[in-house]
Amino acid sequence: MDDNTTTLARLKQNINSDIFKRSDRNHQRKNIVSDLYRLHEKHKGKLSTSTISYLTKDLDYAIAQNKSRAEQLSQNIYSIIPHSFGDHSKCDLSWCNYHKDPENYKHESLPYGNNLNVEEMFADLSKLFDTYAKNSDKLANCGSSQGNESLNQIIALKAPKAKYFGSSESLPFRVCVGVFQKNEGRSYIPQVYEAHKLSPGKFTVMHTSKIDKKRKHDKVNASNREAKRKRLVKKGKFNLNLKAKEIREGVTYATSISAPAKSSENVEDISHIPDPEPEVTEDPVSLKDETFVYFDLETTGILTKALQNYNIMKNFELKCGGFIYTLSLTKELLPDRKTNKQSYNQESLVKDIVGINYDAHNAIGDVQSLQQLINTLKVSPRILEKHSFSVQYTVYMIS
Ligand SMILES: [Zn+2]
């Protein structure tokens, strides 16, 4: 059960006073994370998000390793904050590696492996973790309400709350179907059709078995270590991306962001829709009497990176107007190849148009045949210009 209802108080009063509540693991975790983020606001620039994820991870481990052992859990929680500030006197040898090699010990997940060291943060964090330690019996006996939430979600789709099905004869069917879907998957749909002497459509059968297969696959993946790690990385990337966007645009979505009390602070951010990011155009180069240099380059990004690394970008730009993208060029010039499903790779283009075979693994052969190809195609400067892009564009793209 989550901590959002008064149901328990009523149950105790009216049914049985021995009933006790187990908190939901995920809700507990969310509460802990939001507590830490409140401190993050207070200690801006000192309590970083990576420190927060380190502390939540420590707490997660402690909770997972001390199921139903409230006393042990409480001791572990008390030692987390001193441990991260470098005091290992209270740490348990089962999880703290400091005592194995005190000289070379580094924290695995704290920035640069260093101890935390901001004094005022220590007081606040200790206070917070002390309250968790005091409530360790609650944390050690967490359950998961995920199964309930998921069934509730399924039934809510079959009998939406916004429509009144409470007195409808269809309600029992709707609930039964929800339960069936939760337990067995969607295979009931073709069966229901058959029972009513209707032939289930080909696509219905295909679709239901596809969804059931995915469900099985997801179920296996949910507990697989590699998949868990992937999910974590994906989440990290999402948050990073979100942070970057919030820096550029300001916060655009948060609980009661446009409520009167808050809107005065954010009035700048929400009353003005920021200008769109300038669209990345390929920035064509104007061609006059240019000399074309044919070069074997798999991607311009590598060249640009190398030029930047050696600080010769400015000089290069003075000499080089830009690049021409030969793939999009040949695609425009030879649209029939697409209809005929012919390849646009250089080897087959040279073979079909210039009429020669060349060794694609030989860089010189490669550039010579490219030159022959472009010459044979007799491309007009206007078309070349259209498929060109400046050196600056490549810099923009790799940054
Ligand atoms: Zn320690």
How many angstroms separate the alpha carbon of residue 96 from the centre of ligand 1?
5
Q: Residue 365 pLDDT > 60, yes or no?
A: yes
pLDDT attached to residue 157 = 95
How many angstroms separate the alpha carbon of residue 51 from the centre of ligand 1?
16
How many angstroms separate the alpha carbon of residue 118 from the centre of ligand 1?
18
pLDDT attached to residue 282 = 57
Q: Residue 235 pLDDT > 80, yes or no?
A: yes
Of 245 and 117, the structure prediction assigns the larger pLDDT to 117
How many angstroms separate the alpha carbon of residue 251 from the centre of ligand 1?
38
pLDDT attached to residue 75 = 92
How far apart CA 356 and CA 337 sit, in angstroms, is 18
How many angstroms separate the alpha carbon of residue 90 from the centre of ligand 1?
7
How many angstroms separate the alpha carbon of residue 80 from the centre of ligand 1?
7
How many angstroms separate the alpha carbon of residue 83 from the centre of ligand 1?
4
How many angstroms separate the alpha carbon of residue 188 from the centre of ligand 1?
54
How many angstroms separate the alpha carbon of residue 215 from the centre of ligand 1?
41
Of 232 and 173, the structure prediction assigns the larger pLDDT to 173
Max avg pLDDT among 198-212, 247-261, 365-379, 381-395 = 198-212
Q: Give the pLDDT band (50/70/90) at residue 160.
A: very high
Exposure letters 100-115 (e unless 16+ CB within 10 A, then b): eeeeebebeebeeeee
How many angstroms separate the alpha carbon of residue 24 from the centre of ligand 1?
28
Burial environment of residue 196 by CB neighbours within 10 A (0 to 12, 13 to 18, 19 or more): exposed
Q: Please say whether the dihedral angle defined by the alpha carbons of residues 376, 380, 386 and 389, taken in this order, is positive or negative.
A: positive
How many angstroms separate the alpha carbon of residue 40 from the centre of ligand 1?
23
pLDDT tens by residue, 19-66: 877 778 888 888 999 999 999 888 887 888 888 888 998 998 899 899
How many angstroms separate the alpha carbon of residue 98 from the centre of ligand 1?
6
How many angstroms separate the alpha carbon of residue 390 from the centre of ligand 1?
55
Q: Residue 265 pLDDT > 60, yes or no?
A: no
> Taking the CB of residue 391, how many other CB atoms lie within 10 A of it?
22
How far apart CA 130 and CA 128 sit, in angstroms, is 5
How many angstroms separate the alpha carbon of residue 235 from the centre of ligand 1?
28
How many angstroms separate the alpha carbon of residue 89 from the centre of ligand 1?
7
Mean predicted lDDT score pLDDT of the chain: 83
How many angstroms separate the alpha carbon of residue 324 from the centre of ligand 1?
59
How many angstroms separate the alpha carbon of residue 53 from the centre of ligand 1?
17
Q: Give the pLDDT band (50/70/90) at residue 389.
A: confident
How many angstroms separate the alpha carbon of residue 109 from the centre of ligand 1?
13
How many angstroms separate the alpha carbon of residue 56 from the centre of ligand 1?
16
Contacts of 90 (CB under 8 A, 6+ apart): 75, 78, 79, 82, 83
324: which strand partners?
A: 388
Q: Give the pLDDT band (50/70/90) at residue 236.
A: confident
pLDDT attached to residue 270 = 54
How far apart CA 178 and CA 174 sit, in angstroms, is 6
As a whole number, mean pLDDT of residues 162-191 equals 92
How many angstroms separate the alpha carbon of residue 93 from the centre of ligand 1?
8
Single-letter amino acid, residue 45 = G
Q: Residue 138 pLDDT > 90, yes or no?
A: no
How many angstroms separate the alpha carbon of residue 54 from the centre of ligand 1?
14
How many angstroms separate the alpha carbon of residue 106 from the centre of ligand 1?
10
As a whole number, mean pLDDT of residues 266-290 equals 60
